[in-house]
Amino acid sequence: MERTRLISELWNAMDRRQWEELAAYFCDDAVVFWPSTNERFTVPEFIEVNRAYPGTWTIQIERLQQVDDLVVSVVKVALAEGRTSFHAVSFFEFRGDKIGTLYEYWGEDGDPPQWRINRSIGTRIS
């Protein structure tokens, strides 16, 4: 199957909280890195950390692109509670048909900092 299609399916499984489907997308010895918090996970740990993540959410894919053995995705994860949302940029490095390494960068969405609001540089888009 096309790799971007696989990653689209993976995010769909995350959105539906179908944890039992996730392991099949990864090599058994795959490693997941969250550099923003200096965390590293095995596949069972990665599934556990997602399962344990507080609250409920919906996931929208905003970008999905392939370069050779790499698929890059951008998703917006909106928590059901309140107005909190995150963007995650993920680099899925494939070994054959499965993910061997995943680097995932998370950032919380929010208003610009006060110094930027004061200076009115740029345009707010929503």
Alpha carbon 109 to chain centroid distance? 14
Helix (H, G, I), strand (E, B) or coil at 12: helix
- Checking phi first, is residue 42 left (phi over 0); if not, alpha (psi -120 to 50) or beta? beta
Contact 43, 26 (CB under 8 A): yes
Judged by CB under 8 A, the residue of 13, 22, 89, 98 near its own copies is 89
Judged by CB under 8 A, the residue of 15, 61, 91, 98 near its own copies is 91
Judged by CB under 8 A, the residue of 16, 17, 19, 35 near its own copies is 35
Please report, as residue ranges, which positions from 44 to 73 form the binding site for its own copies (by CB under 8 A): 45-46, 48-49, 52, 54, 62-63, 65-67, 70, 72
Q: Which residue's CB is nearer to its own copies, number 13 or number 86?
A: 86
Question: Counting Cβ atoms within 10 Å, is residue 99 exposed (0-12), middle (13-18) or buried (19+)?
Answer: buried
Question: CB within 8 A of 11, min separation 6: which ones?
Answer: 59, 61, 73, 75
Q: Which residue's CB is nearer to its own copies, number 25 or number 73?
A: 73
How many residues bind its own copies (CB under 8 A)? The answer is 45
Q: Which residues bind its own copies (CB under 8 A)?
A: 33, 35-42, 45-46, 48-49, 52, 54, 62-63, 65-67, 70, 72, 74, 76, 87, 89, 91, 103, 105-112, 115-116, 119, 121-126
